[in-house]
């Protein structure tokens, strides 16, 4: 994948990525295309890209922690996080407070955090982290908060695109 970034934004982005120790992802609309399948019995299913798993493994191999932070509590999110072997916090009424508590417990500063979101409930987190990232089809009201926007839409390779970007920058001498 080719990344086209222009100076000085490119330089600023590279500097920020090199400091990141934690990437936090919203789930719905980032790992998924923001659609849900609802069955007769009330159970839900979502569609995720399998390519994300390989990307996330690369990020973890680079020593970066990964966390899913989701407003909704849903067994689908739990199962996907377990499969990907990444941490997950769900049922957050205030995502920014949860994020701050998590980084304090893990001795990480906000200057070392990237956050990936897609909707207005992600805005408080996007406003406090060093590297706010949004997916291509993010809600218009949060576009102003982003330092980087993916080319891919949520659920269609956006997570992998971010992982590949980090890998490319962190492995380039």
Domain contains 6: no
Whether residue 151 contacts residue 164, with contact meaning beta carbons closer than 8 Å, is answered with no
Whether 110 is covered by a domain: the verdict is yes
Instruction: Say if CB 131 and CB 147 are below 8 A apart.
Output: yes
Q: Which of 102, 91, 150, 100 is nearest to 127 (CA)?
A: 100
Mark out the alpha helices in 1-143 (DSSP H runs): 9-19, 51-61, 75-84, 95-105, 123-128
The DSSP secondary structure of 25-44, one letter per residue, reads: E-STTTTB-S--EE-TTS-E
Q: At which residue do the structure tokens 């993916």 appear?
A: 150
The yes-or-no verdict on residue 173 having pLDDT over 80 is no
Q: What's the pLDDT at 1?
A: 47
| 93 in a structural domain | yes
The answer on pLDDT for 97 being more than 70 is yes
At 48-95, the pLDDT tens digits run: 988 899 999 999 999 999 999 999 899 999 999 999 999 999 999 899
In a domain, residue 1? The reply is no
pLDDT greater than 70 at residue 23: yes
Q: Is residue 124 part of a domain?
A: yes
Number of domains in the chain: 1
Q: State phi, psi for 145 to the nearest 5 degrees.
A: -85, -10
> What pLDDT does residue 110 have?
97
**pLDDT above 90 for 6:** no
Q: What is the CATH number of the domain that holds 111?
A: 3.40.50.1000
Domain membership of residue 108 (yes or no) is yes
**Per-residue CA distances from 124 to 16, 53, 84, 121, 132 (Å):** 19, 27, 26, 7, 10
Residue 143 is assigned to a structural domain of this protein: yes
Full domain range(s) for residue 40: 19-171
What pLDDT shows up at residue 11? 86
Percent of the chain with pLDDT over 90: 86
| Whole-angstrom distance, CA of residue 79 vs CA of residue 92 | 18
Mean pLDDT, to the nearest integer, of 107-111? Answer: 97
Q: List the structure tokens of 14.
A: 């590279």
Average pLDDT over residues 166-170: 96
Mean pLDDT (the chain, rounded): 93
Look at residue 12 and tell me if it is in a domain.
no
């Amino acid at each position: 994948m080719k990344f086209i970034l222009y100076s000085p934004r490119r330089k600023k982005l590279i500097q920020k990525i090199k400091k990141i120790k934690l990437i936090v992802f919203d789930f719905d609309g980032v790992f998924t295309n923001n659609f849900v399948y609802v069955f007769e019995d009330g159970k839900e299913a979502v569609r995720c890209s399998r390519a994300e798993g390989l990307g996330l493994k690369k990020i973890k191999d680079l020593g970066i922690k990964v966390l899913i932070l989701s407003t909704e509590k849903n067994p689908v999110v739990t199962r996907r996080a377990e499969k990907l072997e990444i941490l997950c916090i769900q049922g957050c009424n205030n995502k920014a407070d949860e994020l701050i508590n998590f980084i304090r417990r893990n001795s990480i500063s906000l200057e070392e955090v990237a956050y990936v979101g897609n909707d207005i409930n992600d805005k408080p987190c996007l406003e406090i982290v060093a590297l706010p990232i949004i997916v291509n089809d993010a809600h218009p009201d949060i576009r102003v908060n982003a330092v980087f926007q993916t080319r891919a839409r949520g659920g269609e390779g956006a997570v992998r695109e971010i992982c590949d970007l980090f890998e490319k920058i962190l492995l380039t001498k």
